[in-house]
Amino acid sequence: GAVVSQHPSRVICKSGTSVKIECRSLDFQATTMFWYRQFPKQSLMLMATSNEGSKATYEQGVEKDKFLINHASLTLSTLTVTSAHPEDSSFYICSGQRQGPADTQYFGPGTRLTVL
């Protein structure tokens, strides 16, 4: 159990366009979902945390107007990269957490974004 999917797995877009990435918890209700970014050969950096039905909490240095997060239901969160630029090219990973504190986060397979 505790499977998280992401769609698309890979996307290539032109500079200036917007890209939406979906994160779904398939067999559990994710009270909280997290979005991470991972540049090549680097670690995962938390971008934002979202709770269903409320605004996302962004980490310092992450532009909330550029990375729009919507957590519309207990099984779906979306990340929209607006006006994408080549420096936004990265591996984006989401995770879902079932309950409150101390529950393990389950990670999606990631989405590789390439901005030309």
Partner 1 sequence: AQKVTQAQTEISVVEKEDVTLDCVYETRDTTYYLFWYKQPPSGELVFLIRRNSFDEQNEISGRYSWNFQKSTSSFNFTITASQVVDSAVYFCALSEGWQTSYDKVIFGPGTSLSVIP
The residue (of 78 and 90) whose beta carbon lies closer to partner 1 is 90
- Which residues, 6 or more positions from 52, have their beta carbon under 8 angstroms from its beta carbon? 30, 31, 32, 71, 72, 73, 74
| Measured distance CA(91)–CA(88) in Å, rounded | 9
| Among 58, 84, 106, 113, interactor with partner 1 by CB under 8 A | 106
96 is an interface residue for partner 1 by CB under 8 A: no
Map residues 14-33 to x or -, x wherever contact with partner 1 holds by CB under 8 A: -----------------xx-
CB-CB contact of 37 with 90 (8 Å): yes
61 is an interface residue for partner 1 by CB under 8 A: no
Per DSSP bridges, beta strands 19-25 and 111-115 are: unpaired
- Interface with partner 1 by CB under 8 A: which residues? 31-32, 34, 41-46, 49, 51, 91, 93, 95, 97, 100-110, 112
